[in-house]
């Protein structure tokens, strides 16, 4: 028990600490969604909400395809996931690696995650989102190809 108390006092850097706590909140939300599905059969990914950006501009938004990509990833359809929203796999991989490294350090004193590295990956993730959005806009405007149909 004394070892656990010492481990719980081990701190990450400020940025990583905040990101780790946000990651735990995201994990909790995902687990709550799974529990909701198992107990009631309600699948929150089956709900479809209209995209305000698409309704107003008739163009795809930066997040266009994200929900379809999550559905495809949960079904194990990796290529469909990449087609619908390429940044998703990168974001999931960074999340899993970051949360694993921080948990191992915080509770088992294994390794030391570099402070602030996750912010660099967030910038890369944002760049991927903007790049895929630009590709989808060019495909839509120049060639009439609509990803979101």
Question: 20, exposed or middle or buried, with CB in 10 Å at 0-12, 13-18, 19+?
Answer: buried
pTM for the full predicted model? 0.80
Q: Is residue 72 helix, strand or coil?
A: helix
> In a 10 Å sphere around its CB, with 0-12 CB exposed, 13-18 middle and 19+ buried, how is residue 51 labelled?
middle
Across the chain, what does the average pLDDT equal? 85
In a domain, 84, yes or no: yes
- Stretch 2-13: mean pLDDT: 58
Cβ contacts of residue 97 below 8 Å, gap of 6+? Answer: none
Whole-number Å distance between alpha carbons of 44 and 137: 28
Tokens read off for 53: 């950006």
In the DSSP assignment, the letter for residue 114 is P
Residue 54 inside a domain? The answer is no
Q: What would the pLDDT profile of 118-149 be if each residue is shown by its tens digit? A: 888 999 999 999 999 999 999 988 888 877 65
Q: How many domains does the chain have?
A: 1
Predicted local confidence at residue 41, as pLDDT: 87
Q: Which residue has 């309704």 as its token pair?
A: 55
Instruction: Report pLDDT for 9.
Output: 55
| Residue 5 binned pLDDT confidence (cut-offs 50, 70, 90) | low
Q: Are 61 and 51 in contact (CB under 8 A)?
A: yes
CA atoms of 48 and 148, how far apart (whole Å) = 12
- Tokens found for residue 15: 């940025």
pLDDT at 99: 92
Residue 131 domain flag: yes
* Averaged pLDDT, 88-116: 87
Question: Does the residue 75 lie in any domain?
Answer: yes
Per the structure, the complete domain to which residue 117 belongs is given by 2-39+61-143
Pick from 68, 78, 89, 90: which is nearest to 149 by CA? 68
Instruction: Give a yes or no: residue 109 inside a domain.
Output: yes
- The mean per-residue pLDDT over the stretch 3-9 comes to 53
Contact of 62 with 130, CB cutoff 8 Å: yes
Please tell me the predicted confidence (pLDDT) of residue 123. Answer: 93
pLDDT digits (tens, 9 = 90+) for 32-73: 998 998 899 888 878 777 888 888 988 888 988 888 899 899
Residue 48 domain flag: no
Q: Does any domain span residue 18?
A: yes
Note whether residue 51 is domain-resident: no
């Amino acid at each position: 028990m004394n070892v656990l108390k010492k481990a719980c006092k081990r701190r990450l850097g400020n940025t990583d600490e905040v990101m780790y706590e946000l990651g735990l909140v995201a994990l909790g939300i995902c687990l709550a969604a799974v529990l909701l599905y198992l107990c009631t059969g309600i699948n929150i990914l089956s709900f479809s909400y209209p995209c305000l950006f698409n309704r107003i501009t008739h163009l795809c938004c930066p997040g266009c395809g994200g929900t379809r990509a999550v559905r495809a990833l949960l079904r194990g359809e990796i290529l469909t996931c990449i087609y619908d929203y390429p940044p998703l796999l990168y974001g999931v991989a960074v999340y899993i690696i970051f949360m694993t490294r921080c948990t191992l350090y915080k509770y088992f004193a294994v390794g030391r995650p570099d402070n602030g590295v996750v912010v660099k990956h967030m910038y890369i993730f944002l760049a991927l989102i903007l790049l895929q959005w630009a590709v989808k806009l060019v495909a839509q405007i120049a060639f009439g190809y609509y990803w979101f149909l």
